[in-house]
Structure formats: structure tokens, C-alpha cells
Amino acid sequence: MAITLNSGFKMPIVGLGVWRMEGKQIRDLIINAINIGYRHFDCAADYRNEAEVGEALSEAFRTGLVKREDLFITTKLWNSDHGHVVEACKDSLKKLQLDYLDLYLVHFPVATKHTGVGTTDSALDEDGVLDIDTTISLETTWHNMEELVSLGLVRSIGISNYDIFLTRDCLAYSKIKPAVNQIETHPYFQRDSLVKFNQKHGICVTAHTPLGGAAANVELFGSVSCLEDQVLKDLAKKYNKTAAQIVLRWGIQRNTVVIPKSSKLERLKENFQVFDFELTKEDMDLIKTVDKKQRTNQPAKFWGIDLYA
């Protein structure tokens, strides 16, 4: 099951995020996921594991497990490389051992002090606050993203963590419209207005943290997981599914792409088994009622500044 992007390319509606995956774990994760049926992998320079992902992909191609054209590979431009878009993209391609990307995203709508292409550092100033570069506009960054399409390095380009204001601006100054806006959205942070605004203007929404972060974000940010919500647990019983499967199916029925992450084989399988049932309109409406407007991914913890303030 896939969504056709405004660039004309198809994006599988379920993907696998590789944030916080390391070493040999990555190889097993990618190979197992491909065997299960995953064809969409969501990477980022900032995850600092593109080289390991590249090794796994190379093995998958070399052994005939899958062809390059069967996969949809996303990675992202880090904040410190806004002034070096082409070089950063080429660096990611080299690490991933790919000739082209299916999708390249601006990871966050902020340029920060350059620390060397691909280093993905978040330099802090003397006050311990993110060292933001005020000389590079998002418009300049976007036009450099558009150049990647002209160079044949990238098939589709998009944005990530953009609100309505920034997305509207991007639509106004872009020659190539963003194909995707990847945002945090899940039952506890539904952001219906932002989702609908993007979809109205032909931008596909990808839900990062589609399960509300679960254990990873509870550990990192002290957030509350929506998977423990009684409404969702009751729906899981009703459909004979897990709460995670209910949440992913809800995301799919909103016409959003979902990219859950897991290093556990059983969870990988479970997260992909979401195409054999459908939530009723009444149950979709019921899930609307659990929204807490609760963001779980809080980079302020590392940056000393709340960019969402």
C-alpha cells in the first residue's frame, strides 16, 4: 500500500525508522525488515548510522534479496549543513552506498553553526544554547534542495517539523513543492489542523513517533505513552489486535505515512500486520477524543532552547 507523492513517485505507507539503532543491530534489523515486507526505510544524517544502513542495503542488493528500485529510502539534511546542502546530500549517499535518494528532507526548520559536512553536531554557545545561524534563510536552503532534484541525486524533496506558517511560506517560495512534511503525530498529539493543511496543499504527511514514542521517549523525555490509554486498549481487544496496531491503522486511515521503529523481530512483524482490518468511522472518531496535544519529542533537552515556543 502506497501514497503517490506530488512528485509522481510512490511512497510505501508503512516504513521503518532507524533512529537509535546501532552497529550489527542495524544489519539484522534491515535484513529482517525486508524479509517481512518492509520496502521503506527512514534514515537521517543525525542518526549517525547511515554507513551501517548502507552496509545492510548493499548486502540486500548483492544477495538478490531485493532490488534498489523496490526500496524507498529517505534521509535528512541536518541543521548544521543548511549552507552545504549538495555536499551533505552527497555525503549521505556515499555512506548509504546509493546513487540516489527517494526522499531528502530538511530535518528541522533551523540552520545552526556549521561543524563540518556530515558531522551533525549541535553546537552550543557559551550559554549552553543552540548556536543558531541567522544568515541562512529557509528559502535559501530550499532552493538548494531543489538543485538536488535537478542534479538527479534526489527524486523527491520535503520538509520535517514545519508548522503551518513555515509550510505556507515554503509553498510560496518553492519552485518544486515539498512532497512530504514529516511531523510528530499520534493519538496524544493529533495536530489535525496541520495534517489537513498539508494534505489540502498536496503535501503527504509522514508521522514520525507514530506510536507516541513508546518506551524510547518515555526514557528520553519522560513522556506518557498513548499505548497505555484505556480507549486504545479496549479497541485492541475489540479488533483482536495490539494497541500499537490500532494506532498505526488509525494513522494509515488518516492518509498519513507511518514509520514506527523497533529492534525486536516480533514487533517488526506486528507493526507491519496492519492491512487486514479497518477501523470504523465511529472508532476513528473515538480516537479523536484521546488527544492531549502532548508533544513527546523534545529536542530542547539537548539544545537549551525550545524551538517550538
**Residues carrying an active site annotation:** 47
**276: which residues sit within 8 A by CB, 6+ positions away?**
none
260's grid cell: 514506527
CB 183 within 8 Å of CB 206? yes
Please name every residue paired with 156 in a beta bridge, in sequence order, or none if there are none: 103
Distances (CA, A) of 141 to 81, 89, 91: 9, 12, 17
Measured CA to CA, the distance from residue 160 to residue 145 in angstroms comes to: 13
Rg, Å, the chain Cα set: 19
Distance CA 249, CA 240 (A): 13
Is 75 within 8 Å of 101 (Cβ atoms)?
Answer: yes
First-last CA distance in the chain: 37
For 132-193, give the DSSP string: B-TTS-HHHHHHHHHHHHHTTSEEEEEEES--HHHHHHHHHH-SS--SEEEEE-BTTB--HH
Q: Cell numbers at residue 252, please?
A: 494509515
Show the cell assigned to 149.
532534484
Question: How many Cβ atoms from other residues are within 10 Å of residue 133's Cβ?
Answer: 15
Q: Are 173 and 142 in contact (CB under 8 A)?
A: yes
